[in-house]
Amino acid sequence: MAEDERGRILKRANDGRTATKAKGTRFGRKPKLTDHQQAEAIKRLEAGESSRAVAKTFDVHHDATIARLTG
């Protein structure tokens, strides 16, 4: 009986997530940089500026945020 209830709870939770995603809600942590800031950071990195200098400008970590942009 408890297993059946657990299954119903999981189904309702998954249905709720699906409905929320369909409305356009984003899940997870908010990004540190906006799309515009990411584009600017990539442009500056391609121009030869160091990841530490770019990160300092945006007040983010150079490894966790900036280095991830370049892949």
* pLDDT at res. 49: 92
pLDDT in tens, 6-64: 999 999 999 999 999 999 998 998 888 999 999 999 999 999 999 999 999 999 998 88
Q: Are 62 and 54 in contact (CB under 8 A)?
A: yes
11 exposure class (CB count in 10 Å sphere: 0-12, 13-18, 19+): exposed
Whole-prediction pTM = 0.61
Residue extents of the structural domains in the chain = 2-69
